[in-house]
Structure 1
Amino acid sequence: MKKHYRSDKNCLNCGTTVSDKFCSACGQENLELHENFLHLALHSISHYFHFESKLFNSLVPLFTKPGFLTQEYFAGRRASHLSPISMYIFISIVFFSLFNLNSNSNKKEVIKDKAAAENTMTKAEAEEVKKVVGNAVSAEAGEATYNLLDKGQAISDSTGKKNEAAVAAPTHITPSNLSVKIFGDNAVSHSLKAKWKVLEDDELKWELFKIKLVSHVPKMMFILLPLFALILKLVSFRSSKYYTEHLIYSIHVHSFLFLFFSILILLSWVLPFMEDWLQLAGALVALWYIYRSMRNYYGSRRWRTVYKFFVLFFAYSGLLLLSGFVVVIATLYTI
């Protein structure tokens, strides 16, 4: 349907004279303000499909041509693609949402399995008690009942003592513990061991700890994004490229990684028996993509690119390990 443009040539947004359909200063379209519902709906739909076309024009080369979008961006051909920041935010929302859904589903399964196991044990004990108590006229049944109750009491006492010991162990004061509390390093080490011991004794907490730990990975990668660009800047210190250029390249690489891992999550839901193979394939594809995109964008020779790739790999892996250690400690104290 044909759009209705204003006859007046002043831009309602900035006041600049509009020579055509769009303002040359701010880019606002010089449309009539009072449109009917059909025009408004079609206008909104056209904007939506304009975004869709840009998204399609961005995602296809992102997958099939590593480094191409970064080259296009700095060559000035930007109008037909999503901006790097917009694309990264969109893909990150998809990735974080799938990651949270995956973590929550695993968490529910762990809790459900744990509850089912506890209910099964309770029913078995109830059947045993019912069988013994039901034959109350028999002295042997009465004796068995008392034995069963004594056994249950003993189990309860031992369990209670075990739990009390687990709680009291870290706070029990002895000369050695007193020295631990005085020296900071030893105190931290002792606290970490106590927290870890709790996880070892509680299977449910251990599973929830792993799930919560994995859920922090996307946030950690988001924080490490500018550091990835900084490493590239240091590795390519002879290059005339600015830090912003390395950052845009890093955004495109991380956008691919987030989107690719999102697809792997979906595939793991459909093909759970291939989860290990999907993870291996994902790691290999991610490494190949980074190398190929570096080769295409920076234009270095093969061995020069391999050298940069390994320096980037080891430096970034060190940052990942350090960040992972911090996340593990933080998760350990928040579980």
Structure 2
Amino acid sequence: MSHGKLRENKTCLNCGHQVEERFCPHCGQENIESRHPFYYLFTHFIEDFTHYDGQFWGTLKNLMFKPGVLTNTYLEGKRQKFVPPVKLYIFVSFITFFVFALFPLINLNFDGTKEQHGPDKASVFEKMKSLKTHKILDSIKAKPILTQEDSITIKSLNALPDSTKIDDLEEALEMGNKIDENVQYGGYKTKKSYDSAAAKNPSIFDFIQIPIAHKFFELKERGVTKGEIAKNLTATSFHNLPKALFIYLPLFAFFLWIFHSKKKWWYFDHGIFTLHYFSFLLLNILFVFLIGKLTSLTHIGVINSILYIILCVLLIYSIAYFFIAHRRVYHTHGVVSFFIGGLLFAINFFTFMILVVGLALVSFLMIH
């Protein structure tokens, strides 16, 4: 519930009806003062999701631990008990990608430059080298008696790649080098020669091949390094990911619509199922991301082992969740539900991979 101050005037500012208590009986607007401190913008947003009746927390609980319940409840017409599907998806998307932006899992410094300003600015390769610290190994081996935790820690550190191998990888990738002048695209070294050949031999794929070729030659002429391309491509892909997921929502619902009775299930019903499932996936991805961050911050073997087990459980649960939710919502027989669910899962995985490739191409074209 909002904590805004009630107005002394009992006339609703929205519709003009008399308001005896807090909310207008005609339009439902809260009869509180219309001017507030700046922080009210943020507190009001949070209150919309975490207000006193526990709607938000009940929604999260059912979303995470009771697959299909939210969809069934909504389709039964009980729509005040939980957060509406669209509102839930938008909120979860905002929180997930906001956290991703604040705490990137890896530093995107691929350029191989030597100018570093602290551990957070180190390149990916430098961070890989720093993971295997001899100080940790020496301190453990110096103990008279090794515990089980010490043994696990030693094994995990020894499993990491050697610094020499990392150096070879960094050198092989040549992330700090520019695109060599002799490097060709489609057998051509310059944009002019490529355009000339494309004009003589047009193709139905020219609508995508020509822009990619032009971008390649543009980056080559500008002397952009491989590391800069990788960094910009990763950053651009990340920013485009929410758009890709939003675009894929109706496609996911469409595949559900194809495999189920058109008389019993409307496309709208599949859309509700999709919104709830995607909200769950985003939350699950967020938890995996945060646990991944924790594993990079601790070097205690037992804790890391527990975190890795949790990661595996979450990944398996994210797959099993779909089958459980599908059976509960569509009320199909176990074998039939598993077969249809497996087919849908495979089709969606293949289609989403195509979308990811398309996203990568778009991200490449957006590099500047």
Q: Same fold (TM over 0.5)?
A: yes
1:170 aligned residue: 189
- C-alpha displacement of 1:6: 8.0
1:313 aligned residue: 345
| 1:184 alignment partner, SS class | coil
Match of 1:213 among 215, 237, 242: 237
In structure 2, C-alpha distance between the alignment counterparts of 1:3 and 1:211, rounded to whole Å = 41
Match of 2:251 among 227, 237, 255: 227
For residues 89-117 of structure 1, the C-alpha deviation after alignment (integer angstroms, 9 at most, x for no partner) is 11000112233345585214x35xx2227
For residues 275-302 of structure 1, the C-alpha deviation after alignment (integer angstroms, 9 at most, x for no partner) is 9877765442221111111111111111
TM-score for both structures, normalised by structure 1: 0.67
Letter in 2 for 1:60: K
2:265 aligned residue: 241
For residues 12-66 of structure 1, the C-alpha deviation after alignment (integer angstroms, 9 at most, x for no partner) is 43244667664333113456x59999xx9xx979956517822111101111100
2:75 aligned residue: 74
Structure 1 residue 57 corresponds to structure 2 residue 61: no
Structure 1 residue 94 corresponds to structure 2 residue 95: yes
In structure 2, C-alpha distance between the alignment counterparts of 1:78 and 1:71, rounded to whole Å = 10
For residues 199-225 of structure 1, the C-alpha deviation after alignment (integer angstroms, 9 at most, x for no partner) is 998244335434543553332111101
Contact residue 91 and residue 258 of structure 1 kept, 8 A:
yes
2:293 aligned residue: 269
Which deviates further from its counterpart, 291-300 or 76-85? 76-85
Structure showing greater relative contact order (alpha-carbon pairs closer than 8 Å, 6 or more residues apart): 1
Structure 1 residue 303 corresponds to structure 2 residue 304: no
> Unmatched 5+ residue regions in structure 1?
120-159
Contact residue 105 and residue 293 of structure 2 kept, 8 A:
no
User: Higher helix share goes to which structure?
Assistant: 1
Distance 1:35 1:324, change over 3 A: closer
Distance 1:239 1:285, change over 3 A: farther
1:182 aligned residue: 200
Contact residue 106 and residue 211 of structure 1 kept, 8 A:
no
In structure 2, C-alpha distance between the alignment counterparts of 1:322 and 1:204, rounded to whole Å = 25
Contact residue 11 and residue 19 of structure 2 kept, 8 A:
yes
RMSD: 4.6
Distance 1:101 1:182, change over 3 A: farther
In structure 2, C-alpha distance between the alignment counterparts of 1:29 and 1:96, rounded to whole Å = 32
TM-score for both structures, normalised by structure 2: 0.62
* Structure of higher CA gyration radius: 1
- C-alpha displacement of 1:77: 2.4
1:115 aligned residue: 113
2:277 aligned residue: 253
Distance 1:284 1:5, change over 3 A: closer
- Structure 1 vs Structure 2: percent identity of aligned residues? 22
Distance 1:238 1:115, change over 3 A: same
| 2:54 alignment partner, SS class | helix
Aligned pairs for 1:278-289 (under 5 A) are: 281-289=313-321
Letter in 2 for 1:81: F
Structure 1 residue 291 corresponds to structure 2 residue 315: no
1:106 aligned residue: 107
In structure 2, C-alpha distance between the alignment counterparts of 1:230 and 1:282, rounded to whole Å = 27
Letter in 1 for 2:282: F
Distance 1:222 1:304, change over 3 A: same
Contact residue 98 and residue 265 of structure 1 kept, 8 A:
no
In structure 1, C-alpha distance between the alignment counterparts of 2:86 and 2:58, rounded to whole Å = 15
Letter in 1 for 2:342: F
**Number of aligned residues:** 286
In structure 1, C-alpha distance between the alignment counterparts of 2:211 and 2:269, rounded to whole Å = 44
1:143 aligned residue: none
> Unmatched 5+ residue regions in structure 2?
118-176, 297-303
- C-alpha displacement of 1:270: 1.0
Contact residue 178 and residue 225 of structure 2 kept, 8 A:
no
